Chains A and B, each alone.
Chain A
Amino acid sequence: MSKLTDLNLAQARDGLASKAFSATELTQAHIERVEASDKLNAYVLKTPEKAMDMAKASDVKFADGTAGPLEGLPIGVKDLFCTKGIRTTASSKILGEFIPPYESTVTQNLWTDGAVLLGKLNNDEFAMGSSNETSSFGPVNNPYQGANGENLVPGGSSGGSSAAVAARLGVAATATDTGGSIRQPAAFTGTVGLKPTYGRCSRWGVVAFASSLDQAGPITQTVRDAAIMLGSMASFDSRDTTSVERDVPNYEAALTGNIKGLRVGIPKEYRVDNMPSEIESLWQQGIDWLKEAGAEIVDVSLPHTKYALPAYYIIAPAEASSNLARYDGVRYGARQAGVDIDDMYSNTRAAGFGDEVKRRIMVGTYALSAGYYDAYYIKALQVRRLIADDFTQAYEKCDVLLTPTTPSAAFAVGKDVEDPLEMYLNDVFTVTANLAGLPGLSVPAGLDANGLPLGLQLVGKAFGEEELLRVGEVLETAAGFTTRPKEWWSA
């Protein structure tokens, strides 16, 4: 064992439990590493004092035998989660220096279980983006660089979370996924990303993007870490009526390594045009790995897949256009003066929102407008229903689905930033799980020709996280992904 920051979450947990090191030592090591990571721009707010306080409290709990499941484990939190007394911005100028007087349910669950807050992580503004380039704090750089040393995006919207975990700036991170915002960044950074079933984690206190699609989940180094994190993040919450009253199982116990007889569906519609051959062959490799592990491979069809992306890019902006109406400069956040109330609204929102957020507010407003509502919004809801039905039918023939996570590896910072449609194509394999409310897991499975990580995605049945994680761990073991990025940022 070399450094404390080389440990994954499970290893760190076990080390703390065996008193190999203290929570303050573990936290201190991470704080130092975070301090030296500014070139990545993963953290938008560092909370080292808070972290040390929490770590000291954890050490007391270890001493008196009251340690929680995540006791003393230092993590980063996406800046979409409201944290009591700690600035929360959703990486938007419009929230200004907003300090919530409340703690989101998911983060409260983590603190209750003993986790330690290292700071708040960068993300695309209001989680709208696939490259973390729409953040008001500027882009996050992927710890993996291009062949010529150029900076690459870490994916988005949870780009700070994925970069932080890949660069070991925390043993794990929280993230949120509305159309792929956990899984795509995980695939781009060689990390594990789990989007749980809609309703598994409470949305209370998480800045809303698209309420019917948003779901919190972890980005971690391993599948086991994701299982441990989800066990703490998940809960029924009476304050979120879309959360589901259902016991939280022991996800880690589900990692038996045994998938004999499991039926793995391969949806033919995910073989899209122009997919790089290395992704195609990685997918085949994944199929072979699971077959070797005893799974049965089944060809399935999800016939409405091609309509998923357009439907998603109507539903998500429509909800966002309404969810973001509260940022009006009246009660909190940044305000730009105006000659009257309408002028103040215009000035505040013009200055406070970035281009991508404005674009989606306009698209969403248009889709909900009189005369267009039926043609766009209602039609998109119908498509959503058909997509959910596709999955229901596919799951009559299989237990989980295996697909690529993304149609490409990480791309250069600035490449797609002026081309929204090209950017939206990043979500082509991930939005379906959000539209159907199903759990999705991205596992690092290989490298492309330039040495960049590629991920494979598993999609499970509703509340089938245990099975999903079990298969994910088998895939992870078979892939044996151990690559680490070169540490150019600390030089």
Chain B
Amino acid sequence: MASNQNLIGGATGDWEIVLGLEIHAQIASNSKLFSGASTEFGAEPNSQVSLVDAAMPGMLPVINDYCVEQAVRTGLGLKAQVNTYSVFDRKNYFYPDLPQGYQISQFLQPIVGEGVIEIDLPDGSVKTIGVERLHLEQDAGKSLHDQHPSQSFVDLNRSGVALMEIVSHPDMRSAAEAQAYVKKVRAILRYLGTCDGNMEQGSLRADVNVSVRRPGDELGTRCEIKNVNSIRFIGQAIEHEARRQVDLIEDGGVVQQQTRLFDPKNGETRAMRSKEEAHDYRYFPDPDLLPLEFDQAFVDAIAKDLPELPDDKKARFIADYKLSPYDASVLVSEAENAAFFEAAAEGQDAKAVANMVIGSVFAGLNKAGLAIADSPVTPQQVGQLVGLISDDTVSNSIAKEVFEMMFDEGPDQGKDADVIVDEKGLKQVTDMGAIEAAVDEVIAANPDKVTQAQERPKMAGWFVGQVMQATGGKANPQAVNKLVLSKLGLDG
């Protein structure tokens, strides 16, 4: 069983985690799914509520065509079956932030059916996760329990906002896979422009279904962890919940089907309601809305307009730029990152550019807390810097220093790499006479080390280091290395 590294150990043996996700993605649309009210984030409470959203008597929903288009676009991006006939159903339950007393959703006949998503795992491998369906539904409002000592307030700004619920098959086997899946779905949505993927603002959140079983057994009883709103929390929630279920079963207990909540404060999940308390949602087709029908031409027109998606871009990066699958998947995870890389790589050694983008650029941005759009170093500057390495003007390590100077100075200073190299005299020394003189000098000054090096050839590195130091790092490292070995008689 050791072949499956995803198994988790228990007192009585190994367990397999089985995970399925329901991702709720808010459609990038200026108005709601069935009303013209605005969807802008952060508005005053109850300032974006139409008569329909407030479920006033006699009000009727009217489908927002743009949201339908976005759902179709997403379905195509998930390589899924788009259903030209789908039906809106009512999901009935009482809650103060649900004005109609039902949520309009799609139950039996969703707008999008089966699809697949390829996820990139940290070891560079790829796994296929099945998508069961994508359906359109309304978001609820928000109950505020912290505004008054004895009353709860309700904000209906979110009420009626369009969501796409993307339901996976239970194909994931570890927290890392679930996280990779969410990242991939988010990347696809962002590429498509159908959801901004902003988890802090609640534009993307996930319900995580967790069960455990002995490897090879039937599926165990699952618990659903509701509304987890960050990729890190998804990982924590799964780890905690799987461990809780294993401990429970090993102690002789039975997992009860439950809805649970993840508490980020203590990293634990707790029961929200059991199966017995579960709502009977009494789904039935919404009689206020006709079935949603469109023709294949509508779908084809959207398909023609699709941007290049992460998987295709990754394949192209591997083929055209000869990048490793890992580097390619890192670069395509965000459309902006990929675009930055492509701009920098123009006319340059693409692999070297990838290294600098993933290494220096991402690290610098991370440290500074900047988005790629706000990078102080432009893609063109990165490309030029890589060019200076390629033509041996600077070494890799000098290039790193130059990059940091460019990054710190920021775009206003606008100094390109060649200017900085010139100003600071960082140009690599390739004059072999000068390098040879420096090597001779170090050898002459350290006869004891020469003896040691001739006994232990690894000591040659010490001489290289001394020469590099003596030349202020500007000597070509390869040339120094070669000369040192030759002078010490170690090149034979």
Contact = CB atoms under 8 A, between A and B. Distances in A.
A100 B100 contact: no
B56 A370 contact: no
A330 B282 contact: no
A210 B287 contact: yes
Given A318-B284, A330-B99, A240 B94 contact: no
Contacts of A328: 94, 96, 101
B152 A240 contact: no
Contacts, number: 95
Nearest to B282: A368
A395 interface: no
Given A100-B57, A328-B101, A322 B90 contact: yes
A95 B57 CA distance: 9
B102 interface: yes
A239 B60 contact: yes
Contact of A102 (B51, B102, B154): B51
A205 B100 contact: no
A204 B101 contact: no
B55 A326 contact: yes
B63 A241 contact: yes
A88 interface: yes
A366 B152 CA distance: 31
A211 B57 contact: no
Nearest to B280: A370
A337 B282 CA distance: 27
B290 interface: yes
B62 interface: yes
A215 to B, nearest CB: 13
Contacts of A486: none
Contacts of B152: 341
A1 to B, nearest CB: 39
A77 to B, nearest CB: 13
Interface in A61-91: 81-82, 88, 90
A242 B96 contact: no
Interface string B358-390: 000000000000000000000000000000000
B347 interface: no
- DSSP class of A's interface residues: helix, strand, loop or mixed? loop
A241 B62 contact: yes
Nearest to A88: B57
Nearest to A92: B57
Contact of A330 (B58, B59, B154): B154
Interface residue range, chain B: 20 to 34
A102 B90 CA distance: 25
A319 interface: yes
Nearest to A315: B287
A326 B103 CA distance: 11
B348 interface: no
B102 A322 contact: yes
Contact of A240 (B60, B100, B154, B280): B60
Given A100-B56, A241-B289, A322-B92, A377 B101 contact: no
Given A204-B59, A241-B289, A377-B284, A325 B92 contact: yes
A236 to B, nearest CB: 13
A82 B57 contact: yes
A197 interface: no
Interface in A335-365: 341-342, 345, 365
A208 interface: yes
Contacts of B99: 326, 330-331
A345 B96 CA distance: 10
Contacts of B61: 241
Contacts of B62: 238-239, 241
B162 to A, nearest CB: 16
A21 to B, nearest CB: 35
Interface string A408-450: 0000000000000000000000000000000000000000000
A241 B288 contact: yes
A211 B100 CA distance: 14
B58 A104 contact: yes
Interface in B278-292: 280, 282-284, 287-290
A470 to B, nearest CB: 30
A326 B57 contact: yes
Contacts of B287: 210-212, 242, 319
A101 B57 CA distance: 11
A98 B55 contact: no
Contacts of A369: 280, 282
B335 interface: no
B96 A205 contact: no
Contact of B282 (A206, A240, A322): A322
Contacts of B443: none
Nearest to B290: A241
Interface string B75-100: 00000000000000010101010011
A332 to B, nearest CB: 7
A205 B56 CA distance: 9
B90 to A, nearest CB: 5
Contact of B96 (A95, A211, A341): A341
Given A241-B288, A241-B290, A368-B282, A345 B94 contact: yes
A207 interface: yes
Contact of A365 (B100, B102, B282, B289): B282
A332 B56 contact: yes
A461 interface: no
A313 interface: no
Contacts of B54: 331
Given A241-B290, A368-B92, A207 B58 contact: yes
B56 A322 contact: no
A203 interface: yes
Nearest to A325: B101
Interface in B235-294: 280, 282-284, 287-290
A270 interface: no
21 contacts: A81-B58, A102-B51, A203-B60, A205-B58, A208-B58, A210-B287, A212-B287, A241-B63, A241-B289, A242-B288, A321-B282, A324-B101, A325-B92, A326-B99, A328-B96, A328-B101, A331-B55, A331-B99, A365-B282, A368-B282, A370-B280
Nearest 10 A/B pairs, CB to CB: A325-B101, A211-B287, A212-B287, A368-B282, A326-B55, A205-B58, A207-B57, A370-B280, A211-B288, A82-B58
Given A240-B60, A330-B96, A377-B284, 10 more contacts: A100-B58, A205-B58, A207-B58, A208-B58, A208-B288, A242-B288, A322-B92, A322-B102, A341-B152, A370-B280
Interface of A: 81-82, 88, 90, 95, 98, 100-102, 104, 203-208, 210-212, 238-242, 318-319, 321-322, 324-326, 328, 330-332, 341-342, 345, 365, 368-370, 373, 377
